[in-house]
Amino acid sequence: MKRCEVCGAPVQRGFLCEACWQKLEKESYDFSFERCDSCCSIVPFPGYECRFCEERPGFRLYIICPYEGFARKMVEDLKFNGNRGIASVLSDIFNKTIGKAGLLGEIAVIPVPASRDGIRKRGFDQMKLVSKGIDVKVLDLLEMCESSQQKQLDRAGRIEKMGSIFKLKRKSIPASISNLIVIDDICTTGATLFSAMELFRNTGKNVMGMAFLGNYSQWN
C-alpha cells in the first residue's frame, strides 16, 4: 500500500493523504484570497487596485502558499532532510496549479536551478527533481552565473543585482510554445524569479513565475 510522503498514512492515490491535502489547501492563498486577473497576485476582493501590477508591470507571479506552517515544513523536509518523496508532492501541486492558471496554448515549464553550493550540500537539485513529475514540456534553459550568491544579500541588494543571476544555456524555444512558466520552490524578495523571467521577456511568449512558497506582503 502506498504511504503519504509527509506523514506515512495510507493513501489510495497520489502522494498525500486526505488530511495532509486538507492542511495544504487551507494554507494556500487560493483558500482565503482572490487573485488579480492581470498578474495573479493575491487581492482581498475582485477589482482591488493591485500594487504588484504597478510595481512590476508585465510580470505575472503565482505563489501557491505562504512561507510558513505545514507547507514550509514540507519544503524543509525535502531540502534539509533529503526526503525526495516530497518532490513528487510538489510536482503534483504544480500540475494542479498550472491547470487552473487560465493559460491558453501550449505551455512549457522552466525550473530555476539550485546553486552549486546548494547542490553540493544536498546532493541534488530540488527543482530538477520536481520537474521530472511535471506533466507539460520542461525546458532546461537556465544556468546560474558564477558570481551569484543571493543568500548573502539583503532585499535591496538582491533586487539591485537582478538581471545578473542567470544566463541562458541556449536561446532556442520551440515556436509551438505560447506560455513559459518559470518555477521555483521559494520566492522571498522575488529577485530570483524576476531575474529568470526577464531573460524571456522579449521572446514573444507569455511569461509567468510560479513558486510553491512565498510572501506577497511587500506588494499588498
Residue 218's pLDDT band (boundaries 50, 70, 90)? low
pLDDT of 84 reads 96
pLDDT of 213 reads 97
Residue 31's pLDDT band (boundaries 50, 70, 90)? very high
- The domain spans of the chain are 29-214
Element (H, E) at 34: strand 34-35
By C-alpha distance, which of 31, 1, 6 is closest to 20? 6
pLDDT tens track for 79-129: 999 999 999 999 999 999 999 888 889 999 999 999 889 999 999 999 999
End-to-end CA separation in angstroms for the chain: 44
153, pLDDT greater than 80? no
pLDDT of 159 reads 46
Residue 191's pLDDT band (boundaries 50, 70, 90)? confident
147, pLDDT greater than 90? no
- The 10 Å CB-count burial string (b at 16+, else e) for 108-123 is bbbbbbbeeebeeebe
The DSSP secondary-structure symbol of 151 reads G
CA angle in degrees (0–180, nearest 5) for 103-175-137 = 55
pLDDT tens track for 61-74: 999 999 999 999 99
157, pLDDT greater than 60? no
CATH number 3.30.1540 given to 29-214: no
Instruction: Return all residues near 5 (Cβ < 8 A) that are at least 6 apart.
Output: 15, 16, 83, 85, 86, 88, 89
Region 45-65 average pLDDT: 89
145, pLDDT greater than 90? no
The residue ranking higher by pLDDT, 97 or 147, is 97
150, pLDDT greater than 80? no
Mean pLDDT over the full length of the chain:
89
